[in-house]
Chains A and B, each alone.
Chain A
């Protein structure tokens, strides 16, 4: 805790979502217990059984809401989908350090600097955690990092937008982390055990970050006229890119149906986007800031807000590499990787020497 006084832990903007994370965690523990009791003894031997039998078993585990674990047989396409999704998620954490890190040196108070440093540190930790989850699927972190640097794998489109003011650090916390949580909370129940467990931990910390972002904006919105203008400008710039984080509309989403059948995804892009909009409207009201959508209004029939869709053509351009910061973000990552090569080489050489010395000592003894 960093002395935040707004709002209390139980009434935070993501309190409801955190309740779902808790429930998912309890369900995960139950599933593990059920697993032990039932012994899951009927699992066919991957070496002996034919593919149809293996596939039936895989489907039955998913239907029973139990977890697929690294040792289990899984269809190649399930494995590939998960590698793509978890890697993209890990890359997003790593690239996502850049837009916020951009303000570490200029944070306007020491308390804010400490909170921001802690947050960027958390993101590196999330990246490591997710790469480890991806590695359980039989790919190495080095391969994944290579693919990121070469542009063969994506990261979240949102990190290709620049942080132009201190308020952007608040808006990223409130809107970007808020959207990430709405997206990720259902993943706490996803069918692949290591990913579900990673998401529980990530969601708890992200929700803390979201609260901190909300608090930054709250202070700005209630500060001097210049601070309030800074906050509003920031929300104006980040609102639609945040809505676009949920991906293309359901009608254009390539992976949705299969991912839902596999229980990797639980809700469609549009369902999650709607949930996010409904959540933000109330919070913007508390902040005293305006969401930049003149057509945003409550629809009594739908019991949800009507809103203007983000510009999906822009989303596609950004995903293709033509957003404002795509080149900078990747260039920065490449440079860090290249500049650090001599350090990684040194660590490897030293470890090899140590192993050799230990071997010599053993022989001598």
Chain B
């Protein structure tokens, strides 16, 4: 059974919006090494997004390529989870977002790599290696910040507390999907709880779980992000670049 367009768009948009947010860090990271690392991760996410968007366009069969899907959809048509569109108030927020996302993407891509759909299997096989690196990078930084200074501990705990509710959306059941996200929660929890413990951070209680991203009902942040991302492409309809 072929995956649905919406499902492929969901994981494509997660990667695309993550790349867009990480791209905002250019020349502004705390260390030059981190400038390199964040650009590197942004590139990986963008690379996965391009493959997935292309596939979504083919499944849809309406002639939309990666650029039509990235630049000519409005926020109500985007399927990314809310977590990835939140603004990066500081480095701790960026790192915790990436930790939560990559701890989800890694088992997802790994399962897709073993799945029946050939295209998703090929994309998953490529992306899982990159996700493993993203997870390692964000885990190491979470631990450094959590077990660093008082100030860094305070900031990264605040980021964990603020972002934890948004992680629930990642596990909304989708029985029609090649890999039902609901089944990824145990693996995710065990990874993230391990990292938080080593980082001397408190795992927040489960409770409020904002959602809506998968059906195109986003936070107020996404529309600004898209306005910036799409402005040039939309200003020159039909042009090639």
Contacts and interface: CB of A to CB of B under 8 A. Distances in A.
Interface of A: 94, 97-98, 101, 104-114, 117-118, 120-121, 124-125, 127-128, 131, 166, 216, 219-220, 223-224, 226-227, 332-333, 335-336, 339-347, 349-350, 353
Task: List 3 A-B pairs, minimum CB-CB distance, nearest first.
Answer: A340-B30, A346-B148, A346-B152
Contact of A94 (B27, B34, B40, B67): B27
A223 B27 contact: no
Nearest to A166: B232
Interface stretch (B41-49, B76-84, B100-108, B174-182): B41-49
A32 B141 CA distance: 41
B155 A108 contact: no
Contacts of B147: 350, 353
B145 to A, nearest CB: 5
Contacts of B40: 121
Contacts of A112: 241
Interface string B158-175: 000000000000000000
B28 A339 contact: yes
A5 to B, nearest CB: 12
B125 interface: no
B34 to A, nearest CB: 8
B29 A340 contact: yes
Given A113-B46, A227-B236, A343-B152, A127 B32 contact: yes
Nearest to A120: B26
A353 B24 CA distance: 32
A346 B144 contact: yes
Contacts of B229: 105-106
B233 A114 contact: no
Nearest to B234: A108
Nearest to A226: B236
A353 to B, nearest CB: 7
Given A110-B49, A224-B236, A339-B28, A345 B149 contact: yes
Contacts of A341: 30
B150 to A, nearest CB: 9
Contacts of B46: 110, 113-114, 117
A109 B152 CA distance: 37
A127 B40 CA distance: 16
Contact of B23 (A113, A333, A339, A350): A113
Given A105-B20, A224-B239, A349-B148, A114 B231 contact: no
A114 B32 contact: no
B149 A346 contact: yes
Interface in B36-87: 36, 39-40, 42-43, 46-47, 49-50, 53, 66-67, 70-71
A336 B49 contact: no
Given A127-B32, A224-B239, A350-B143, A110 B43 contact: no
B220 interface: no
B149 A117 contact: no
A117 B39 contact: yes
A339 to B, nearest CB: 7
A158 to B, nearest CB: 16
B206 interface: no
A128 B32 contact: yes
Contact of B231 (A97, A106, A125): A106
Contacts of B91: 339-340, 343
Contacts of B71: 108-109
B136 to A, nearest CB: 16
A145 to B, nearest CB: 9
A336 B152 contact: no
A166 B91 CA distance: 28
Interface in B111-168: 143-145, 147-149, 151-152, 155
A108 B36 contact: no
B42 A108 contact: no
Given A101-B26, A128-B36, A347-B144, A109 B149 contact: no
Contacts of A224: 236, 238-239
A117 B91 CA distance: 19
B42 to A, nearest CB: 6
Contact of B67 (A109, A332, A335, A342): A109
B50 A110 contact: yes
B36 to A, nearest CB: 5
A343 B36 contact: no
B6 interface: no
B145 A346 contact: yes
A98 B27 contact: yes
Contacts of A350: 143-144, 147-148
Contacts of A94: 27, 32
A114 B238 CA distance: 20
Nearest to B21: A105
Given A117-B42, A219-B241, A223-B240, A343 B145 contact: yes
A121 B42 CA distance: 10
Nearest to A348: B148
Contact of A349 (B36, B149, B155, B232): B149
Given A105-B23, A105-B229, A110-B49, A124 B148 contact: no
B186 interface: no
Contact of A117 (B30, B43, B152, B241): B43
